[in-house]
Homo-oligomer: A and B are copies of this chain.
């Protein structure tokens, strides 16, 4: 049976309010603020999203999806698999650095599971292709690489002297270094 009309309305209002709050105050925006913005009580949030992480995941689902789907496409449109991997990671970084607080939130239980489930297979495919092409000789777990990149994005966009994109660039470039030099 379909949800009640008010429930559907509230869910959408919550997603909109959360998105707005995340833009304005970062992903750490307090649950109460989001509830107030949506004009509902906190209980309503928790009925729709059992955990703050679930709400965050729901808000960003579309963008994560888009990122995941871009993987195979990049593999086709790039001559070198390593270049495709670099381009894909770039997309991931673009996504992360524009969401204040998301990279740090990525360590929360539920959110972490969601990102891993959706993105690790894609990363694995790109990494595997680069390995097969001989562009990478080290044994790297897809999940390890993604977590590394996610971690490097922590604190990006505070315009102090930290350039997450540059650091990710080094990391990806380092993957290519010949085994002998490591």
Residues of A within 8 A of B (CB): 104, 107, 138, 140-141, 143-145, 147-148, 151-152, 154-155, 161-164, 166-167, 169-177, 181-182
Chain B neighbourhood of A152, CB < 8 A: 148, 151-152
State whether B182 touches A174 (Cβ < 8 A): no
Chain B residues whose C-beta falls within 8 Å of the C-beta of A151 in the assembled complex? 151-152, 154-155, 167
A9 to B68, CA, bound (A): 57
When distances are taken between beta carbons in the complex, the residues of chain B under 8 Å from A107 are 104, 154-155
Please give 5 more A-B residue pairs, beta carbons under 8 A apart, in addition to A151-B167, A172-B174, A176-B181: A143-B162, A145-B167, A148-B167, A174-B177, A177-B177
A155 to B146, CA, bound (A): 13
Shortest CB–CB separation between residue A115 and chain B, in angstroms? 13
Residue pair B161, A171 in contact (C-beta under 8 Å): no
Residues of B within 8 A of A170 (CB): 138, 148, 170-172, 174-175, 177
**Residues in B neighbouring A172, C-beta threshold 8 A:** 170, 174
Give the distance in Å from the alpha carbon of A104 to the alpha carbon of B151 in the complex.
Answer: 10
For the complex, give the distance between the alpha carbons of A66 and B140 in Å: 32
Most B C-beta atoms less than 10 A away, residue of A141, A164, A171, A175: A171
Determine the distance from Cα of A145 to Cα of B141 in the docked complex, in whole angstroms.
23
Selected from B104, B141, B143, B182, the residue in CB contact (under 8 A) with A173 is: B182
Q: How far is the CA of A143 from the CA of B151 in the complex (A)?
A: 16
* 27 contacts across the A-B interface (CB closer than 8 A): A107-B155, A138-B170, A140-B166, A141-B161, A143-B162, A144-B163, A144-B167, A145-B167, A147-B162, A148-B152, A148-B162, A148-B167, A148-B170, A151-B151, A151-B154, A151-B167, A152-B152, A167-B171, A169-B182, A170-B172, A170-B177, A173-B173, A173-B174, A173-B177, A176-B177, A176-B181, A177-B177
